[in-house]
């Protein structure tokens, strides 16, 4: 199995340096990861250094999700070369029961360009089970491609029980990205076996080296 193509090699730390991004790009090229997931302000740098086989992914409404200009943010990122958009929902709107707002916001991004992969970050740490199920139903009704667990900025990230819940309530064409707190190959494989089709990792190199050394 091409495990390297499950990985969105991620750097979203607010204090990261340009050299850190250049290192990330070099690693992504070496391992031929699925994408690099970076802030939009570094997309132009990535275009110069990332192989054409590695996609450019960026985040929108990150990390808190309550901004009101996500569509404009996404459009600009796409103009700068983004091929995948990971957007954070407005968690307050969801928890307040304004489901139409959440659905419309997701669809507004998912409909910008059908060739752009849209992943919807729901920040599972802040949601109860019924809210997670509601998000599955909302995503089913949009053109978004993925549900994504976490930003990595909440207290907890991806959980196996959420994979099981998502698989139960998502339509078959919708995919799952697990992100947040996955730091070794054992966890990585657990999430893939549970149904994740993409894994957001800052520890992508460590995971791949562990898999290679184990002949997996």
Q: What is the pLDDT of residue 48?
A: 98
* pLDDT over threshold 90, residue 1: no
| Domain segments of the chain as ranges | 3-213
174 is catalytic: no
Q: What is the pLDDT of residue 93?
A: 98
Q: What is the pLDDT of residue 216?
A: 83
Confidence of residue 215 (pLDDT cuts 50, 70, 90): confident
86 is catalytic: yes
Long-range contacts (CB closer than 8 Å, 24 or more residues apart) made by 137-140: 137/169, 138/99, 138/102, 138/103, 138/106, 139/106, 139/170, 139/174, 140/169, 140/170, 140/171, 140/174
Put residue 181 in one of left, alpha, beta given phi > 0 → left and psi -120 to 50 → alpha.
left
User: Which of 144, 148, 142, 141 has the alpha carbon at shortest distance from 197?
Assistant: 148
Which CATH topology does 3-213 take?
A: TIM Barrel (3.20.20)
Task: Report how far residue 177's alpha carbon sits from residue 189's, in angstroms, rounded to the nearest whole number.
Answer: 13
146 DSSP β-pair partners: 119, 175
Active-site residue (options: 86, 119, 125, 162): 86
Q: What is the mean predicted confidence (pLDDT) over 176-192?
A: 97
Q: Taking the complete model, does pTM exceed 0.95, yes or no?
A: yes
115 is catalytic: no
CB hemisphere CA count around 102 (13 angstroms): 26
- 159-179: per-residue pLDDT in tens? 999 999 999 999 999 999 999
* pLDDT over threshold 90, residue 123: yes
Active-site residue (options: 148, 162, 174, 175): 148
- 194-203: per-residue pLDDT in tens? 999 999 999 9
């Amino acid at each position: 199995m091409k495990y390297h193509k499950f990985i969105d090699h991620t750097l979203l730390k607010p204090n990261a340096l340009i050299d850190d991004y250049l290192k990330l790009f070099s690693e992504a090229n070496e391992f031929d990861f699925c994408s690099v997931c970076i802030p939009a302000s570094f997309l132009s740098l990535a275009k110069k250094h990332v192989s054409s086989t590695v996609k450019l992914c960026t985040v929108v409404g990150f990390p808190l999700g309550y901004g009101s200009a996500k569509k404009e943010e996404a459009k600009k990122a796409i103009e700068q070369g983004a091929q995948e958009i990971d957007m954070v929902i407005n968690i307050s709107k969801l928890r307040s029961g304004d489901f139409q707002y959440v659905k419309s916001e997701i669809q507004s991004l998912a409909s910008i360009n059908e060739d752009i992969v849209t992943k919807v970050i729901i920040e599972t740490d802040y949601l109860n089970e019924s809210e997670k199920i509601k998000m599955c139903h909302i995503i089913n009704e949009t053109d978004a491609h993925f549900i994504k667990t976490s930003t990595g900025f909440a207290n907890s990230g991806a959980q196996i029980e959420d994979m099981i819940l998502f698989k139960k309530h998502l339509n078959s064409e919708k995919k799952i990205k697990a992100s947040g707190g996955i730091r070794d190959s054992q966890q990585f494989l657990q999430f893939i076996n549970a149904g994740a089709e993409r894994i957001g990792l800052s520890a992508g190199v460590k995971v791949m080296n562990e898999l290679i050394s184990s002949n997996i």
